[in-house]
Structure 1
């Protein structure tokens, strides 16, 4: 009986230890700076926005460097209108995004699929007005080269057809101002939606934590 009790205790302890180690690593590495380039005073304003759990990059729809309306035409967002000066980008697990519109929709199978990185990913794109001044957003200013590197990272996250076009999932949006597109990679506890944002910013030479699996690990560097 003692052996059984010890086995049960061990079975309960291992996940707790693993979870504790994960949280400790996240806390330490999200504060460990990967030094980027000095902040630019002039250039492209890039917003990093949070809903408290998930972070998005919000980029101008059109600049001299990148015209996102070529990849993501206005027709994909029929409800956005002319005030949609920006596009927001959020990467994540396809099943979790599409099947969990509200927390009450969350199913164990969906959570486990995302946790173990078994399913495909998507890019969630909104057409929206500038979020300047929002308390939910931080802002960084990138020079032309930095913004080009950031845009290349984001573009490279889309799955594309043989002609290089992004692959939308028709009817998948939450409304008429957003849409999901097929993306590359698989969500996991290491490769989270927030780590995708952190990677994008590191690629652009923005000082950022070494690993940013949670939204606070990203936002601390851009506010």
Structure 2
């Protein structure tokens, strides 16, 4: 029983995530047409955002250029934004290389980081693992506001990070097994007007919640 207990707890946590994906939650209301396309990029353990690198976005995230994130590069078309536990996320180039202490710290509670990386110019539909979400102008602004609130006064944690052209900046809220990167993503999308359940701790539960609630902006 002692050996089986950790696996049982993990199974219960995963199942609870699917239940949480169906819990009704407050979703911000944003009137108007859906005029901005953003991407959700799936990885084995979480989702990243892809935001269109317009001139306005380049100005708002211009601070990242000094840390090697080519937000002002002529070839840049998208800004990837991720959020996660500081110890785990900054060492997760290969999951086998993540220290056991970073995993344990993430479970019980850790600081957070925001990862920024400039990507090239392409259509979101060209990425097989990208899910396209269409937001109103005010819904999209809510996404940017949440990211900027998370960053506060940007403070570099690590550059380069997982690739030669990305950087990690300190986040202002905490990470734990109850508030994972996928929970943060759910909070951000609900603030943008996307219907989602109240608790989505895994990428599977977030994906299920998007499907179950129809991936629609709140009317």
Do both proteins adopt the same fold according to a TM-score greater than 0.5, normalized to the shorter chain? yes
Change (3 A) 1:106 1:208: same
Question: Which entry has the higher C-alpha Rg, 1 or 2?
Answer: 1
Matching residue within 143, 150, 163 for 1:150: 143
Residue 72 of structure 1 aligns to a residue in which SS?
helix
Q: 1:195 maps to what in 2?
A: 183
Task: Give the RMSD, CA atoms, in angstroms.
Answer: 2.9
Matching residue within 187, 200, 207 for 1:212: 200
Change (3 A) 1:172 1:186: farther
Q: 1:5 maps to what in 2?
A: none
Mapped to 2, the partners of 1:191 and 1:140 lie a distance apart of: 23
Q: 1:26 maps to what in 2?
A: 17
Please give the residue correspondences for 1:70-149 in structure 2 after superposition, counting only pairs within 5 Å. 70-73=62-65, 76-78=68-70, 81-117=73-109, 119-129=110-120, 130=122, 132-133=124-125, 134-149=127-142
Residue 73 of structure 1 aligns to a residue in which SS?
helix
Q: Give the TM-score normalised by structure 2.
A: 0.81
Q: CA deviation at 1:218?
A: 2.2
Matching residue within 179, 182, 191 for 2:170: 182
Q: CA deviation at 1:175?
A: 3.0
Do the aligned residues in 1 keep the contact of 2:112 with 2:171 (CA within 8 Å)? yes
Residue 82 of structure 1 aligns to a residue in which SS?
coil
Query: Which consecutive residues of structure 1, in runs of 5 or more, have no partner in the other structure?
Result: 1-8, 161-165
Q: Give the TM-score normalised by structure 1.
A: 0.79
Matching residue within 13, 27, 49 for 2:41: 49
Q: How many residues align?
A: 208
Mapped to 2, the partners of 1:80 and 1:217 lie a distance apart of: 35
Q: CA deviation at 1:189?
A: 0.8
Do the aligned residues in 2 keep the contact of 1:39 with 1:141 (CA within 8 Å)? no
